[in-house]
A and B are shown apart, each in its own frame.
Chain A
């Protein structure tokens, strides 16, 4: 007996009692529907959670210059100048796992607006890609600076929400002019509030400006001094603590006067940046991104095989781990719910199939009398169960999809269609059919035709 014929016989058997078949499969319909809906809603929430965590910088990679050491004394990370803005450009173009790259020049100094002054946590000189890397592209006000403004070292900047409060007294700062170390910057935009990061640092206490402007106009001394953060220890910088604790650092050599500096210009080989910040395309691509960045930078820095890297790459392992475990937890939870509802549906199928076998004992006897082999009967009942489960699965997918759609449109929860969930639940419902249909089918095939024909 061919499988096609068996299938037709099974379908005919089901059609003879449509209502019962529908009720039987209801368990599977609800099971699969619940699975699909849960998976889609859960998947959507999971993506939303991931996006939120990613906005905290989970995909970010920090590339810092290497370590200088002298006579066994290490000066710590970032103490040599090895990274250039061109490195950043090359990474952006040639590393496929990297989404966006921005060079960063740091400064920490006083800013003045009118009769207010403030020392922001960070003044970053960077490119417009920084916003993309940090997932910060929506601005509260104004607009970001452009590539051209970076090239021209334009005196424009974006300010964070904290600065708006502290420096501008809550008024809109766009179009106003403020001074950073006596350089006048026009505020062209306000960054969206981001709040504190995981370490409690206020991320809104920040100024973003073209890196060229910060480097050449604000921290002009950076070529002579590799560590730009030491700019703040400049005894001439505005710092009220200087009065209490005067900087005691003695310069060993006489400080060259402006005239002397003009007479003997320092040879400038390249412009360096303090760090490069990059974003991987997604969390799983972080290792690939690290690999590609390492290869590209070693090539650009002409490092021989075996030589140490002259840069360090840091990823946000902690955040990434949180993200992964959150996702895993959610998936496992959903899977448990899915399994339970499908098993319940399967037990329902077995129950009704057993009733059906008893009810159709005479039919089974007749089929055997006209020549059906036990295998034929087994296949027929098994196929009935599987067809029921598959139909239930199909209806369940529709049900699940539409309820996910309802949830999206009514509750505005994010959902995401999951093809994997559909395939899995169809496969699972078919196997539920096989597993729970097997016993009744086996029982039917073991019937003695004489007894079965005599059954009332």
Chain B
């Protein structure tokens, strides 16, 4: 069973009288445990696609199945439910809460998702994740006391705290220098290999996309098939809709 199945996905915005077709029939499959890069120039529709994949938005028409669950027509409340159980987000600008310690930043999603967890358990889980991203000695530091790379690692720990099956990273290295970028991308690769989490990297940077096992090119709201840089895609991984 593929993790994500998209079929004939359309997204149309209405700016007054003008109708803007951003996605024009996207169909693709992403299997469980894949590390995929979603590439495209700005305006290609990749952000819109990412919002739909992240259940922040719903398509105008088309089918989106996440783990065999049809999510394209869910209410906003039900989408929030999907987000907190299945999806983790990493943003370009980190989006950490200011004046809040790293530990509390990582714990924050749990306040919405884990009613049954005690505060102690929440702290343990969060500090274990911070340990894992190499910030075990910076639990009580505020974002302003951390470097950009460290902040992004806090954000990655935060995205993992709900144990998602899918990690969406929107330009995760856009605000980082090349050396730190490399570190962060290594971390994604390592997470992907060790935990088997499916990761989608959204980027316009081919260097970043190189780190993925498969690249999906978006152009003008359509999938332009990309080839995995390290290994040719197997038949199962080939997006059928783009053929």
Report chain B residues within 8 Å CB of A365: 95
Is B111 a contact partner of A9 (Cβ separation < 8 A)? yes
Residues of A within 8 A of B (CB): 1-2, 5-6, 8-9, 12, 16-17, 362-363, 365-376, 449-450, 453
Report chain B residues within 8 Å CB of A366: 91, 95, 97
Residue of B nearest to A16 (CB): B99
Give chain B nearest CB distance to A382 CB in angstroms: 16
Distance in angstroms between the alpha carbons of A194 and B197 in the assembled complex: 93
Give chain A nearest CB distance to B183 CB in angstroms: 23
Tell me if B63 counts as interface (CB < 8 A to partner A).
no
Report chain B residues within 8 Å CB of A1: 111-112, 115
- Interface SS of A by simple majority: helix
Contact of B109 among A12, A370, A450 (CB under 8 A): A370
Contact of B91 among A373, A374, A376, A453 (CB under 8 A): A453
- 0/1 interface trace, chain B 175-190, chain A, CB 8 Å (1 if under): 0000000000000000
Is A369 a contact partner of B111 (Cβ separation < 8 A)? no
Is A374 a contact partner of B76 (Cβ separation < 8 A)? yes
Is A450 a contact partner of B56 (Cβ separation < 8 A)? yes
Is A363 a contact partner of B111 (Cβ separation < 8 A)? no
Is B112 a contact partner of A367 (Cβ separation < 8 A)? yes
- 0/1 interface trace, chain B 76-106, chain A, CB 8 Å (1 if under): 1100110111001101000101111000100
Contact of A371 among B85, B100, B104 (CB under 8 A): B85
Is A8 a contact partner of B111 (Cβ separation < 8 A)? yes
For the complex of A and B, 6 pairs with smallest distance between CB atoms:
A371-B84, A370-B109, A16-B99, A373-B80, A371-B83, A366-B95
Report chain B residues within 8 Å CB of A374: 76-77, 80
Report chain B residues within 8 Å CB of A375: 77
Report chain A residues within 8 Å CB of B109: 370-371
Find the residue from A16, A362, A367, A371 having the highest chain B CB count within 10 A. A371
Residue of A nearest to B98 (CB): A16
Give chain A nearest CB distance to B182 CB in angstroms: 26
Residue of A nearest to B122 (CB): A5
Is A370 a contact partner of B108 (Cβ separation < 8 A)? yes
Is B83 a contact partner of A369 (Cβ separation < 8 A)? yes
Is A12 a contact partner of B100 (Cβ separation < 8 A)? yes
- Known contacts A8-B111, A16-B100, A370-B89, then 7 further A-B pairs from the complex at CB < 8 Å, ordered by chain A residue: A9-B111, A16-B97, A369-B89, A370-B158, A370-B159, A450-B51, A453-B95
Report chain A residues within 8 Å CB of B111: 1, 5-6, 8-9
Given A5-B111, A12-B104, A376-B112 in contact, is the A370-B77 Cβ separation under 8 Å? no
Find the residue from A6, A8, A368 having the highest chain B CB count within 10 A. A368
Give chain A nearest CB distance to B15 CB in angstroms: 14
23 contacts between A and B (CB under 8 A): A5-B111, A12-B100, A12-B104, A16-B97, A17-B99, A362-B95, A368-B80, A368-B83, A369-B56, A370-B108, A370-B112, A370-B113, A370-B159, A372-B80, A372-B84, A373-B80, A373-B81, A373-B112, A374-B80, A375-B77, A449-B56, A450-B51, A453-B95
